[in-house]
Chain A
């Protein structure tokens, strides 16, 4: 490590938000020609740390040296000037502009705007590192992976030597991830410093040369990736030994609970979102749903919960005594009262299910406010429920009267899931339940889902991480462009096979 030059040295960095300490005297070195993985649980201060390097936040204390020089980075522009480029988790792109326009945005070059010249330079960068970008394509027409590529090219176009990627693989398919990692290796070999923020251990092992671990805003370790193990990293990250395997008991007495037949759904602007989808979800079983984001997962869950208008097809809910009822055409309240619970974690976490400005108790009440005969609401039961959820799911909150908005993402998700489970559903629909969550919270949620399954609930789990889907689910339904691409057994399926099915109908085995 000594023969490498430090591109960035961060010394004794402290940053607080109100009473929350996000970073506490953290030291961090970034070297040229190396991929550094920044590993830590949610709220451990990884992103905050890097946001200070990219000028989004300003450290309360501490110093930053770039190429040995003490440097003050007070705005994103300063960061660019020092060759630091960050690719955020939520892409910072303007949807109605083209790729090339987004790439030159904010640049103060001489002369008039010459998009052709920009496009030519973009092409050169793409050829050098192996990207594919159409400079004239509008952002809103792009897939997530394409958008990410534009972000990376944008940073390189500005001549960045230090690249920071915040959870870049969260939204990619395995194939796209491989492609991204190949590009990152090219950059490393080109002498650039690459930092990747992640909490997926296998990715750390795959791509990084060195790994720095943060825990609750404090620095806990700096390891050479080749000399460590997943177990060691996890223990350092969580601060205690953690069981890394998901326990998957055999389904107990699986019986059809929800039968979806030929379901077709169109969005309000007429785009076909689900096309002739047919499957059965059994009680006592976790049915995973895999697919690239935007392939109809959301519409499928919403259709079952009665929030989405369907064009054709039936959704039959089968009771324990064998009687069946069609859910299509029923209103959401009626469906919910039949025991179908939806816990949907949208991209912005608070968009659906919870109200950010209301506290935990009030959010619990959103489900139960119709209960009871009185005109006035009874706050006692919801408060007890909120307290129970906080205790059972280890929600990190100052109290049940804290507005949800103040909680970190993982805790928000626990509250949402906790509330849905508390209504003792017979069907539990969850989407992206662990999106953006750290390992420890994720496993708490997997455990919760598994317990629901053992209690005989039919769980439908829309997930992003294929490794988890394969470990958690009994069966996995793969969607591709709104069609069912395949239904595989969670115990025997292979990741690569699912990845292929996600991108192409039927995958390799078209006879599936």
Chain B
């Protein structure tokens, strides 16, 4: 019998990093920047949170920690780290008009290297036997669910058993959808990504919007990395454990046809596919398991095929996605 009550919370937990990454990338792409650096930025967001938490745990004994500093310091470190990555991407692509694809891939490579370097250093500092670093004291604050959730049976487990970052992800996705659809800023942002020359002629500051959307998107994506280490992985950092979630987040952007509210169910679906192999009946051939692990990627490929048969203009990517903007070009 398939155990939904245990499956859904695990699928959701798996989906939150994807949701952060996808929301961040949607905002970025709406400004016309195709940021392929998202996997690297999420990685940096994670390791910066780890560094913040590590220094904090070294300085303050576990029983003297307060919730504010235990959550605030890693979160601030994570946001600053991913913001700097976003700024770097913007400086290269918006100000210097470098090729967005190459820049993005470089940022990803750089971000993963950066994370593994500092992750490795910290692991060495702790002299631990295993190649990982555990920050359980900080993690406990991040994983704190509502106290009465346990008493509510299956309802509590499915809806209330998560740390605050999971709810924040959903709030951010819904807020982004609202801003894009119903506000002046959202309208301007969409115009910048669709047709920057038109937006420019209408008096919109293109560079400002691109910087704002990309940096904000990077910070949101960085939180995905933070959630992964602090909540999903229970505060245990080991190099390369984050895996390819960043790329899945970018695939999700296409899957959701650039709608952050659609990203919520879509990321849960992807999260579910990601862990489906754990729910196979015991005793099944191990190689079948590996086939199940392919599912998210197969779905991504199918989705790419389907969305490339574009019928409706609204479902297409922002028109100037990936293109730099020059004003006085003749």
CB distance from A132 to the nearest CB of B (A): 22
Contact B199 A97 (CB under 8 A): no
With a CB–CB cut-off of 8 A, which chain B residues contact A94? 190-191, 194-195, 198-199
With a CB–CB cut-off of 8 A, which chain A residues contact B311? 269
Contact B203 A80 (CB under 8 A): yes
The one of A56, A80, A105 in contact with B191, judged by C-beta atoms closer than 8 angstroms, is: A105
With a CB–CB cut-off of 8 A, which chain A residues contact B200? 76
Contact B182 A92 (CB under 8 A): no
Decide: A95 near B194, CB < 8 A? Known: A76-B200, A76-B203.
yes
Cα-based distance from A108 to B182 in the complex (angstroms): 15
With a CB–CB cut-off of 8 A, which chain B residues contact A509? none
Cα-based distance from A109 to B183 in the complex (angstroms): 11
CB-based nearest A residue for B314: A96
With a CB–CB cut-off of 8 A, which chain A residues contact B327? 56
CB distance from A351 to the nearest CB of B (A): 16
Interface size on B, residues (CB 8 A): 25
A28 at the interface (CB under 8 A from B): no
Contact A113 B201 (CB under 8 A): no
The one of A92, A104, A108, A269 in contact with B195, judged by C-beta atoms closer than 8 angstroms, is: A92
Cα-based distance from A54 to B327 in the complex (angstroms): 14
With a CB–CB cut-off of 8 A, which chain A residues contact B199? 94, 105-106
With a CB–CB cut-off of 8 A, which chain B residues contact A106? 188, 191, 199, 202-204
Decide: A75 near B203, CB < 8 A? Known: A93-B198, A96-B314.
yes
* Residue among B187, B190, B200 having the largest count of chain A Cβ atoms under 10 Å: B187
The one of A88, A95, A96, A104 in contact with B201, judged by C-beta atoms closer than 8 angstroms, is: A88
CB distance from B325 to the nearest CB of A (A): 13
Cα-based distance from A140 to B229 in the complex (angstroms): 45
CB distance from A83 to the nearest CB of B (A): 14
CB distance from B329 to the nearest CB of A (A): 10
Cα-based distance from A93 to B328 in the complex (angstroms): 18
CB-based nearest A residue for B194: A94
Contact B187 A113 (CB under 8 A): yes
CB distance from A267 to the nearest CB of B (A): 12
Contact A95 B190 (CB under 8 A): no
Contact B194 A97 (CB under 8 A): yes
Cα-based distance from A199 to B190 in the complex (angstroms): 36
With a CB–CB cut-off of 8 A, which chain B residues contact A112? 182-184
Cα-based distance from A140 to B327 in the complex (angstroms): 24
* Residue among B184, B187, B202 having the largest count of chain A Cβ atoms under 10 Å: B202
Cα-based distance from A89 to B227 in the complex (angstroms): 50
A383 at the interface (CB under 8 A from B): no
Q: Which of B288-330 contact A (CB under 8 A)?
A: 311, 313-314, 316, 319, 327-328, 330
Q: Which of A68-108 contact B (CB under 8 A)?
A: 75-77, 80, 88, 92-97, 101, 104-108
CB-based nearest A residue for B196: A94
Decide: A92 near B188, CB < 8 A? Known: A138-B313, A269-B311.
no
Cα-based distance from A493 to B311 in the complex (angstroms): 41
* Residue among B198, B200, B204, B311 having the largest count of chain A Cβ atoms under 10 Å: B198
Contact B194 A101 (CB under 8 A): no
With a CB–CB cut-off of 8 A, which chain B residues contact A138? 313
CB-based nearest A residue for B202: A106
Contact B313 A105 (CB under 8 A): no
CB distance from B143 to the nearest CB of A (A): 37
A57 at the interface (CB under 8 A from B): yes
Decide: A140 near B313, CB < 8 A? Known: A95-B194, A95-B319, A96-B194.
yes
A17 at the interface (CB under 8 A from B): yes
Contact A113 B194 (CB under 8 A): no
CB-based nearest A residue for B310: A269
B51 at the interface (CB under 8 A from A): no
Contact B194 A92 (CB under 8 A): no
CB distance from B71 to the nearest CB of A (A): 32
Cα-based distance from A96 to B187 in the complex (angstroms): 11
Classify the interface of chain A: helix, strand, loop or mixed.
loop
Classify the interface of chain B: helix, strand, loop or mixed.
helix
With a CB–CB cut-off of 8 A, which chain A residues contact B328? 57
Decide: A92 near B203, CB < 8 A? Known: A97-B191, A105-B188.
no
Contact A97 B190 (CB under 8 A): yes
CB-based nearest A residue for B183: A113
With a CB–CB cut-off of 8 A, which chain A residues contact B236? none
B207 at the interface (CB under 8 A from A): no
CB distance from B175 to the nearest CB of A (A): 14
In the complex, per-residue mask of B157-198: 1 if CB is within 8 Å of any chain A CB, else 0: 000000000000000000000000011100110110011011
Decide: A105 near B202, CB < 8 A? Known: A112-B183, A113-B187.
yes
Contact A77 B191 (CB under 8 A): no
Cα-based distance from A106 to B204 in the complex (angstroms): 5
Contact A105 B187 (CB under 8 A): yes
CB distance from B209 to the nearest CB of A (A): 11
Cα-based distance from A105 to B203 in the complex (angstroms): 9
Cα-based distance from A469 to B165 in the complex (angstroms): 68
Cα-based distance from A107 to B330 in the complex (angstroms): 26
Decide: A76 near B202, CB < 8 A? Known: A94-B194, A105-B191.
yes
Decide: A105 near B314, CB < 8 A? Known: A80-B203, A112-B182, A113-B184.
no
In the complex, per-residue mask of B20-32: 1 if CB is within 8 Å of any chain A CB, else 0: 0000000000000
In the complex, per-residue mask of A339-381: 1 if CB is within 8 Å of any chain B CB, else 0: 0000000000000000000000000000000000000000000
CB distance from B172 to the nearest CB of A (A): 20
With a CB–CB cut-off of 8 A, which chain B residues contact A17? 330
With a CB–CB cut-off of 8 A, which chain A residues contact B330? 17
* Residue among A94, A108, A113 having the largest count of chain B Cβ atoms under 10 Å: A94
With a CB–CB cut-off of 8 A, which chain B residues contact A93? 195, 198
Cα-based distance from A93 to B199 in the complex (angstroms): 8
Cα-based distance from A101 to B184 in the complex (angstroms): 9
Cα-based distance from A168 to B202 in the complex (angstroms): 19
In the complex, per-residue mask of A129-147: 1 if CB is within 8 Å of any chain B CB, else 0: 0000000001010000000
Cα-based distance from A104 to B328 in the complex (angstroms): 24
With a CB–CB cut-off of 8 A, which chain B residues contact A269? 311
Cα-based distance from A92 to B195 in the complex (angstroms): 8
Q: Which of B195-229 contact A (CB under 8 A)?
A: 195, 197-204
* Residue among A54, A57, A76 having the largest count of chain B Cβ atoms under 10 Å: A76
Decide: A92 near B198, CB < 8 A? Known: A75-B203, A77-B203, A97-B191.
yes
Contact A105 B194 (CB under 8 A): no
CB distance from A231 to the nearest CB of B (A): 33
Decide: A92 near B202, CB < 8 A? Known: A17-B330, A112-B182.
yes
Cα-based distance from A113 to B187 in the complex (angstroms): 9
CB-based nearest B residue for A79: B203
CB distance from B118 to the nearest CB of A (A): 42
A–B Cβ pairs within 8 angstroms, 26 of them: A17-B330, A56-B201, A75-B203, A76-B203, A88-B201, A92-B195, A92-B198, A92-B202, A93-B195, A94-B191, A94-B195, A94-B199, A96-B314, A97-B187, A97-B190, A97-B191, A97-B194, A104-B187, A105-B188, A105-B204, A107-B184, A107-B202, A108-B184, A112-B184, A113-B182, A113-B187
Task: Report A's interface with B, CB cutoff 8 A.
Answer: 17, 54, 56-57, 75-77, 80, 88, 92-97, 101, 104-109, 112-113, 138, 140, 269
6 closest cross-chain pairs (CB), A and B: A106-B202, A77-B203, A92-B198, A106-B203, A105-B202, A94-B194
| 16 more CB-based (< 8 A) A-B contacts, given A93-B198, A97-B191 | A56-B201, A57-B328, A75-B203, A76-B200, A77-B203, A88-B201, A94-B190, A96-B319, A97-B190, A101-B187, A105-B198, A106-B203, A107-B202, A109-B184, A113-B183, A113-B184
